[in-house]
Amino acid sequence: MKKTIIIIAIFVAVLGSLNPLSAWYANRGFSENNIHKCMTAASLKKAMLNFNGASKVYSKIIQTFPHSSSMDDARYFYAFCLERDHETHAAISAYRQYLGFHPSGQHANSAQIKLKNLIALQQS
């Protein structure tokens, strides 16, 4: 029992330190004009279920690096994080934008399904 409590405490401490670390990493990525660092920071926030923080980083990535090959992922995960953060109207708009830019993109099928479900949910 004591061993389990120690493991949980370590896990919580590590998890708690990742959010400030991901913010620092995102800031460093933007200052260095390094999209890979920014995408990693956004992914960390998303993995920690900090969808609001992740959506803000993805939004800034989209604005800062509009012609990057990472835009397929950035636009999709921006919409995904908005959806998970219960920002339904914004998520619908973001999924539509994703499909406008990437109609046959890596996440197009998933985006179409999510968009259809969000619209149906909104109409009910």
Q: Over the stretch 4-54, which tens digit does the pLDDT of each residue have?
A: 665 554 444 444 445 677 788 788 888 889 999 999 999 999 998 999 999
Q: Are 23 and 58 in contact (CB under 8 A)?
A: no
Pair of tokens at residue 62: 């989209």
**Backbone phi, psi, residue 102, to 5°:** -135, 60
pLDDT higher than 70, residue 78: yes
Please identify which residue in the block is written with the tokens 């990742």: 18
Domain boundaries 2-123, corresponding CATH code:
1.25.40.10
What's the rounded Cα separation, in Å, for the pair 82 and 52?
7
For the whole model, what pTM was predicted? 0.84
Average pLDDT over residues 91-98: 98
Per the model's pLDDT, the better-predicted residue between 102 and 10 turns out to be: 102
Buried b (16+ CB within 10 A) or exposed e, 71-97: bbbbbbbbbbbbbbbebeebbbebbee
Average pLDDT over residues 72-98: 97
Per-residue pLDDT at 4: 62
